[in-house]
Amino acid sequence: MRFLLNPGGNLRGSVRVPGDKSISHRAIMLGALADGVTGVTGFLSGADSLATLAACRAMGVAITDPDAAGRVTIHGGGLHGLTAPSAPLDLGNSGTSMRLLAGLLAGQPFASTLIGDASLMQRPMRRVTQPLGLMGAQITASASGTAPLQITPVDQLRGIEYALPVASAQVKSSILLAGLFADGATWVTEPAPSRDHTERMLTAFGYTVERDGMRVGVRGGGRLVATDVAIPADLSSAAFFLVGASIAPESDLILTDVGINPTRRGIITLLQMMGADIEIVNPRTFGGEPVADLRVRSAALHGIEIPEEQVALAIDEFPALFIAAACAEGETVLRGAAELRVKESDRIQVMADGLTALGIAADPAADGLRIRGGQLRGGTVNSHGDHRVAMAFAMAALRASEPITILDCANVATSFPDFAPLAAAAGLRISSDDNG
């Protein structure tokens, strides 16, 4: 599938982007492990969170199909209610599913195998298999530390104290989920704050989570009590619209019900540092998660040096931010973001190549990118099957001089199935076909 973009236009009106992907995964997993019936609203019906849903169903949990409002009912069987899947669990493109489920499955009394698509089968998994191994888990990966992951049951996991080498919510969450099944306490220390949705949702399900500065811990053997979960709109999906409305003249857009958890807010902070006009309206909470409407209007952006402490807080938003940088006056410099090289694609190289194809000077480094703002031309960009790269370059058309074609866009459905019609309704001149 490819996106075809005509240049120009602006973004106006009101948009509710789909439910938060990270929170959708966790709602299914914790609902499956809880005692009782969990009602979810705002669930993301994207391929990634549906992969988590299918995996939990394959382990005997009754879960309804999401309806148009993202309503899902999960009949949890308690902490020890999962049953052996009859086939390998295929998690598609979803790194979050694989890493979190590896932790959840490490303490089960049955064997399981985790596989995924070509991209996921190349992504690093040692970051979870190594600490889970310290807890006593039996997990084998390929010689290069990638999936398939083969998990063999062990008598008992034990709690550990683990210092994360890189800030990663996926690794932290994987260890904490294994910790629910471990003897004693499991503590994780982070080098920098990463998204804390697992901690917030465990608390909402009545499970005690201890915090002590940068350490977070759980004790095994507790109980999760079913609860209702309202999932905010995903700030990572809203990010494309925040950038699009900032760069396109005469834009004025409201994004409703967006999650603004402080561990996710880097994109708002960074765009505001660049001169963006983003207003946070009507702040409130959905369960334990802060939510607001975001009003964004066109603004003249300028380049910035991205503070390294913002990197983990904006980790998924750099493809979008790089498009803002391409439209900004002067240079934007990112460092300390080597993690971007092991996301759904190598986002440093793939974004640098795409920006260069569109006439923007972009110098990649091992751990970042330097971009000089300028006039975007038209051209063809390969997204390499990376949903966020595809959506970021779609927004670039708002300021391009000629049409843009974006190849390999089918994976947009992993996080934002209706991106093209929703963006078109707001004013993006986008269509799609099956020729690329």
Where does this chain bind ligand S3P (CB under 6 A)? Answer: 22, 96, 168-170, 173, 194-195, 315-316, 339
Q: Is 119 annotated as a binding residue?
A: no
Q: Which two tokens stand for residue 92?
A: 């598609």
Neighbours of 117 (CB within 10 A): 18
Nearest position to ligand S3P, beta carbon: 22
The b-or-e profile of 132-144 (16+ CB within 10 A means b, else e) is beebbbebebeee
Residue number with CB closer to ligand S3P (168 or 382): 168
Residue number with CB closer to ligand S3P (119 or 432): 119
Residue number with CB closer to ligand S3P (198 or 298): 198
Q: Is 35 annotated as a binding residue?
A: no
Q: Is 90 annotated as a binding residue?
A: no
Query: Which entry of 234, 257, 316, 408 is annotated as an active-site residue?
Result: 316
Note if 316 is an active site residue. yes
Residue number with CB closer to ligand S3P (10 or 45): 45
Q: Is 21 annotated as a binding residue?
A: yes
Q: Which two tokens stand for residue 409?
A: 């866009």
Q: DSSP for 269-321, please give it.
A: HHHHHTT-EEEEEEEEEETTEEEEEEEEE----B--BPPGGGTGGGTT-HHHH
Is residue 137 a contact partner of residue 150, using CB atoms and an 8 Å limit?
no
Contacts of 3 (CB under 8 A, 6+ apart): 390, 393, 394, 404, 405, 406, 409, 420, 430, 431, 432
Q: For residues 420 and 409, what is the distance between their CA atoms, to the nearest angstrom? A: 11
* Cβ at position 405, least distance to ligand S3P in Å: 26
Q: Is 343 annotated as a binding residue?
A: yes
Within 90-136, residue ranges assigned H as helices are: 95-106, 126-134
The b-or-e profile of 39-78 (16+ CB within 10 A means b, else e) is bbbbbbbbbbbbbbbbbbebbebebeebeeebebebbbbe
Please count the CA atoms within 13 angstroms of the CA of 87 that sit on its side-chain side: 7
Q: Is 22 annotated as a binding residue?
A: yes
Is residue 373 a contact partner of residue 396, using CB atoms and an 8 Å limit?
no
Q: For residues 39 and 228, what is the distance between their CA atoms, to the nearest angstrom? A: 5
* Cβ at position 107, least distance to ligand S3P in Å: 19
Q: Is 194 annotated as a binding residue?
A: no
* Cβ at position 338, least distance to ligand S3P in Å: 11
* Cβ at position 377, least distance to ligand S3P in Å: 30
* Cβ at position 48, least distance to ligand S3P in Å: 9
Residue number with CB closer to ligand S3P (204 or 248): 204
Q: For residues 350 and 194, what is the distance between their CA atoms, to the nearest angstrom? A: 24
* Cβ at position 231, least distance to ligand S3P in Å: 13
Q: Is 431 annotated as a binding residue?
A: no
Instruction: Determine the 3-state secondary structure of 4 from DSSP.
Output: strand
Residue number with CB closer to ligand S3P (114 or 426): 114
Binding-site residue positions for phosphoenolpyruvate: 21, 95, 123, 170, 347, 388
Binding-site residue positions: 21-22, 26, 95, 123, 168, 170, 316, 343, 347, 388
Binding-site residue positions for 3-phosphoshikimate: 21-22, 26, 168, 170, 316, 343
Which residues belong to the active site?
316
